[in-house]
Amino acid sequence: MKRFFQPIAKDGPSKKPALSTADSAPPCPGGGGGGGDEEEKGEKREAPMRFLTWNANSLLLRAKNNWPEFSRLVQSLDPHVICFQEVRMPAAGSKGAPKNPNELKDDTSSSREEKQVLLRALSNPPFGEYRVWWSLSDSKYAGTALLVKKQLRPKKISFSLDRAASKHEPDGRVILAEFDSCFLLNTYAPNNGWKEEENSFKRRRKWDKRILEFVLQIEKPLIWCGDLNVSHQEIDVSHPEFFSNAKLNGYIPPNREDCGQPGFTLSERRRFDNILTQGKLVDAYRFLHNEKDMECGFSWSGNPVGKYRGKRMRIDYFIVSEKLKDRIVACEMHGHGIELEGFCGSDHCPVSLVLSEEP
């Protein structure tokens, strides 16, 4: 989620090992998150059970400034799957040419240098144990990445909510991995914005409609994670009245349901509730934690300086099919407090999910 108190600076891109296009799950090329991924004949396709999601707010900046802290977290949790949002690395392709959202830009000296910084970070332990897939924007904006342990080779990787499409979602907002027993959906939902404009309310309504259509037509259990840019209930924000009454430069939308902080308007929350209800989906964190936790119960925190100090929201989720709810062992946020401890330099903290083995 973009910070509401000020625009996110456009400094520092994110980089990752390049992977191939959609459909099958190809090997990660040399120099990627750990190099080759040869698969022994007869290797068993195991099911992922430990997951980590994080809006890094520029993966390159995190690699430069916060990688030891994040690496320690990954080593301690040992997730089978890591999902990143807001990687903010541009896709490969020279100026004016078609872009390749599967690969990191490296056609200039600065982009090559930035790419190497990120690839080195992703080649160091424990990240060398993972394959990496990218879905990138044309510029240093949005974008997602998926890291999967090499022994858990997915059957298929795609990059659109339309499973028949070969193209990526605009701005690299989706990576979908199909495993034998489930789908894993990594999304960076567009911010609702403040106005009735094409890139604000209208864009988010279209996104929510497509998410609903997607969850209704999948044929396997779903694990959906990422920065979903919505706080479902009042318990999911630190100061409900503050967020309900928030305005941008005094502007009040004509529809009361669209008033308030992006991510906490009634219209967004009702659409999200409808997605969960119709899709027979469960919020894994709230399934285990039904009390408000002012210390550790939020995934996004406002700037420690200014009017958003101490104002926090839970907008990063693991959502699972009802069929999986009895397998939820743990779902935790790994940041706490208004000083953003455990956020590893981002304005979002990592969130983890643990499932028990399939019965």
Residue ranges for the known binding site for Mg(2+) are: 55, 86, 227, 229, 347-348
From 166, 199, 189, select the one nearest 300 (Cα to Cα): 189
Is 227 marked active-site? yes
Residues 6 or more apart whose Cβ sits within 8 Å of residue 79: 50, 51, 52, 352
Residues 6 or more apart whose Cβ sits within 8 Å of residue 346: 54, 55, 56, 57, 62, 66
Is 106 marked active-site? no
Token pair recorded at residue 162? 């339309």
Identified catalytic residue from 227, 236, 258, 316: 227
- Residue 71: Cβ within 10 Å count: 16
Q: By the 8 A CB rule, do 285 and 296 touch? A: no
Residues 6 or more apart whose Cβ sits within 8 Å of residue 235: 286, 291, 292, 297
Q: Which residues pair with 108 in a beta bridge?
A: none
**Beta strands 222-227; 183-188: pairing state:** parallel
What is d(CA 75, CA 298) in angstroms, rounded to the nearest whole number?
A: 23
Identified catalytic residue from 106, 130, 141, 188: 188
From 12, 1, 124, 127, select the one nearest 61 (Cα to Cα): 12
What is d(CA 3, CA 346) in angstroms, rounded to the nearest whole number?
A: 10
Q: Which residues are annotated as a binding site?
A: 55, 86, 227, 229, 347-348
Token pair recorded at residue 206? 């279209």
Is 138 marked active-site? no
Residues taking part in catalysis:
188, 227, 348
